[in-house]
Amino acid sequence: MEIAPNELIPNLIDEGEAFARAIFSPYHLKKNGIEIKPNAFRFSEISVNRTKYSTGNFCKSKAKKTEHPEANPPKVYRGFAVVSYIALSQAGAFVKASKQIEDAAHADIYFPESAPDEFGRPQSAEMNSIVDTFLPHTKYFADPSPALPTWEGEIFWVFRTPY
């Protein structure tokens, strides 16, 4: 099973949950290819998957659908950033379950209200401070085989940050 059935996934987020954010190069990774840029989380609404209810294969399949390697600059799938509910909430971010027809494990990370820029990114000092607070508690799981349709890397869907 790639994802838990809709009726088994609660709408309430448990404080023990973690969330996977698809990471694309060059937008979300620094030039060294292993560090996440803060801009990976600087949007007014950030789509993530609840790792407790999905698998690497499911998350990768979703991520690959939004990849655009032919674009200029290319948007190339590279892996996932995983962050815990506790790290997000202690930093001041909010997480809301937002089930979709094809993805009952979908959730969104939100920030306190701020005026977005032309790309939909909130640009308040508060939002920047929140991202800077939880980013060190976010773990990047590079996909060792991004061209393959299946996840071949470390198991990230059981990842829990100590924070």
- pLDDT per residue as tens digits for the range 91-150: 999 999 998 878 889 999 988 865 556 666 556 778 889 999 999 999 999 999 999 999
Per-domain boundaries in the chain: 20-142
- pLDDT per residue as tens digits for the range 34-88: 999 999 998 878 999 999 998 899 999 999 999 999 999 999 999 999 999 999 9
CA–CA separation, 29 vs 84, rounded Å?
Answer: 20
Cβ atoms of residues 79 and 140 within 8 Å: yes
Sheet containing 139-142, strands listed edge to edge, beginning at the edge strand earlier in sequence: 94-97, 106-110, 45-50, 18-25, 76-84, 139-142
CA–CA separation, 163 vs 77, rounded Å?
Answer: 27
| Mean pLDDT, residues 8-23 taken together | 92
Q: What is the pLDDT of residue 100?
A: 83
pTM score, whole prediction? 0.88
Q: Is the pLDDT of residue 2 over 80?
A: no
